[in-house]
Structure 1
Amino acid sequence: MHHSRRRFFRQSAQRGAAALTLPTILQALSTETAQAATTIEPAKPERIKPDSVVRSVPENMVWGYFGADVAPVSRIKDGDIVEIQTVNPSGVSRTDPEAFYKTNNLPIDEHAKEVIAIMKNVKPEPSGIRGHMLTGPIYIENAQPGDHIEIRILDLTLPADFGVNSVWPGGGGIPDLVKQRETFVYRYDAKRRTGTFIDGVEIPLKPFMGVMALSPPAETGRVSSIPPGFFGGNLDIKHLTKHSTLHLPVSVPGGLFTTGDGHAAQGNGEVSGVAIETAVNLTAQFIVHKGSGLKMPRAETPTHFIAVGLDKDLNKAMKQALAEAVQFIQTELGFTFNQALSIASTGVDLEISQVVDQVLGVHAMIPKSIFPKKKFGYW
């Protein structure tokens, strides 16, 4: 089975690759619905059968870093569908991991037992690098430097019925104004698809992975998972929900995909320093695009293309996101530079992904609906 050439990366689709057919997902969308949609659900949801499962057990976890020397925990083929389980250790201590659940009247169920086992058995990086509790890495056969990997997010499920948000002095977007640390447990209402920590507040649940990364180049050594980079990582783009697509450049053989930092919901900016941190199980399809030359992450949803800017200076991150958006509109959609900049100024939204991860993020939302004469195939 081969996937059709997609305009978003027409320069890189020089060969066929295995693809998943989801006949009920997008065909039923009217033009009006497509313009307004933020999350798309199949008319009759069906469990997707993965080719393999990477479980959230201690031997499959890496605590806080990426690196070309990190041994893969799984090897998959180009086009495979994989279910990747992740955990959320927010608020859980290494010395007494059970205490968090007892203090917050949460059951020590099978998922909690996994978290406790991981906290007791997974060691931090010896040099002192710190970051997220991650699952992986996964080696994708046929992926080599100069290629990029397309990650189709087929499903995102919540194995636990709660998530955690915190505020603390020195953290978040207004670090000097926070006087004391406080942790909030958001409990989920499965029917309403909301989370709440206090009466009168309901946050819609829109789960996504905060961290999706390939390994940086071998010469960089191991790097923390906290700041994002051109290889992906802690992008914290809230639009990367179910039925979205992320494209990441390959720096090392096999790519070495790692994920974690699941979020049940997040506002643009992630301004307290964290979102609703939660366990999320990701089901994704991995497709290798040979020789594409992609340099920065790009993403796509049924309604938008997304260009990304990253820098320690938010102004520079904005300029990079804008430049990436203009370049995409110019080279992929066939406009002049000046025309593309005009389109960006009148029809493209720049949003702040996050302002709390050392390297800050801005993403440009390019609506497909503003190009009515162009046909955009998706999956």
Structure 2
Amino acid sequence: MIPSRRHFLRRTAQSGLAALSVASFPAAASALLPDEPATRPEPARIKPDHVVRSLPENMVWGYFGANVPAVYTVKDGDVVEIQTVNPSGVSRTNPEEFYTKNNLPIDAHAQEVIAIMKTVKPEPSGIRGHMLTGPIAIDGAQPGDTLEIRMLDLTFPAGFGVNSVWPGGGGIPEAVTSRETFVYRYDAKRKVAILKEGVEIPLKPFMGVMALSPPPETGRVSSIPPAFFGGNLDIKHLTKGTTLYLPVSVPGGMFTTGDGHGAQGNGEVSGVAIETALTLTAKFIVHKGKKLTMPRAETPTHFIAVGLDKDLNKAMKNALTEAVTFMKDELGFTFNEALSIASTGVDFEVSQVVDQTLGVHAMIPKAIFTKRKFPYWT
């Protein structure tokens, strides 16, 4: 184990803009997309210790809870491939219609989505949210620990994503008068998502939802609003090569993920991003007795502090407090020095304004600390 929390947070960093590269497209998507040039070798695929498939028995629809049983158990340090699905636009009553209407193949992945929509039941009390894979228990994780999640790879099992607008949703809900769903088709060669001719969005995939189970006294909660245990953070920088840290509240931690995004602008202002199926390959590391009160992340170029609240002003204040606390406690600055650095060298970005609890994240660049080195795992 790493001997101190400061050393732990220095070593565990998340990747910034230099690492926001698109993951490889697997065979499931290659039938839809142009092949990469033959002269470009395929990157070596990471061999996981475990694979958690996107099957109905491995899914939970829209909620977290300490009493939600694990679908899989892994060891501290294991590498796990976690398959997720994107049911956006797919109905429970006629799930095949979405694919035929949009001229999309009902391939093996689509058949998994259809089976999930026909089989997986929402939470009985009426809680609603995302279609998620998990929970996955990490052996040895206990309340008071921190779980490190290293994003080793992110791949697309399907060659498209979906964005929607609807009355009452998004950042200007009163202005939207009709519902419309947009299918973005992926160009693997150029690594872009195409809405229509002349509109191409660079693909930068990340998981919108990554959570541990909340403590038992919280009960079951929706996956829509993020919280101290993670969840629907929608931070677009959490891409391949990055690291997220979450506080453990229950034995095993119980990691759940989903809500894959092909790309997202800060704010997620229509209410959703390019919603997409993603396969996450992650390494789980338990840090004993390393207690966090909020999620933290790091990249090769940045530390990321997170602020959440139903009020965006308070979310901003919370992100600032987290950033100053990090620089004070982990980097050794005084409070006033840390606040000055936050004002002159740190960017505060709005993660999302559409998930009931709103998010702001502080991007703390490592390069401004010229006398320090921050080793990283990538």
The normalised TM-score by structure 1 is: 0.91
Whether contact under 8 Å (2:130, 2:223) holds in the other structure is yes
Deviation at 1:331, TM superposition (A): 1.1
- Cα 1:200/1:323, change in 2 over 3 Å: same
Deviations 1:199-245 (A, max 9, x none): 11000000000000000001111000000000000000000000000
What SS does structure 1 have at the residue aligned with 2:115?
A: helix
What SS does structure 1 have at the residue aligned with 2:265?
A: coil
Distance 2:294 2:168 in 1: 30
Alignment match, 2:283: 285
Alignment match, 1:96: 94
What 5-or-longer segments of structure 2 have no aligned partner?
24-40
Alignment match, 1:271: 269
Alignment match, 2:20: 39
Distance 2:83 2:59 in 1: 10
2:359 matches 1:361: yes
What SS does structure 1 have at the residue aligned with 2:290?
A: coil
Task: Report the residue type matching 2:252 in the other structure.
Answer: G
User: How many equivalent pairs are there?
Assistant: 359
Distance 2:200 2:17 in 1: 22
- Cα 1:4/1:263, change in 2 over 3 Å: farther
Alignment match, 2:333: 335
2:51 matches 1:70: no
What SS does structure 1 have at the residue aligned with 2:118?
A: helix
Distance 1:157 1:207 in 2: 8
What SS does structure 2 have at the residue aligned with 1:170?
A: coil
Whether contact under 8 Å (1:150, 1:288) holds in the other structure is yes
Alignment match, 2:168: 170
Give 1:279-358 correspondences, 5 Å limit: 279-358=277-356
- Cα 1:277/1:35, change in 2 over 3 Å: closer
The normalised TM-score by structure 2 is: 0.92
- Cα 1:137/1:264, change in 2 over 3 Å: same
Distance 1:360 1:338 in 2: 27
Task: Report the residue type matching 2:282 in the other structure.
Answer: A
Alignment match, 1:133: 131
Deviation at 1:39, TM superposition (A): 2.1
What SS does structure 2 have at the residue aligned with 1:202?
A: strand
Whether contact under 8 Å (2:21, 2:204) holds in the other structure is no
- Structure possessing the higher relative contact order (Cα contacts under 8 Å, 6 or more residues apart): 2
Distance 1:190 1:371 in 2: 37
Q: Percent identity of the aligned residues?
A: 77
Deviation at 1:198, TM superposition (A): 1.2
What 5-or-longer segments of structure 1 have no aligned partner?
14-18, 20-25, 27-33
- Cα 1:375/1:75, change in 2 over 3 Å: same
Deviations 1:3-60 (A, max 9, x none): 797846359x9xxxxx9xxxxxx9xxxxxxx986252689973111000000000000
Whether contact under 8 Å (1:35, 1:369) holds in the other structure is no
What SS does structure 2 have at the residue aligned with 1:37?
A: helix
Whether contact under 8 Å (2:63, 2:221) holds in the other structure is yes
Distance 2:55 2:267 in 1: 31
Alignment match, 1:105: 103
- Quick one: which of 242, 245, 248 aligns to 2:246? 248
Distance 2:291 2:144 in 1: 5
2:24 matches 1:9: no
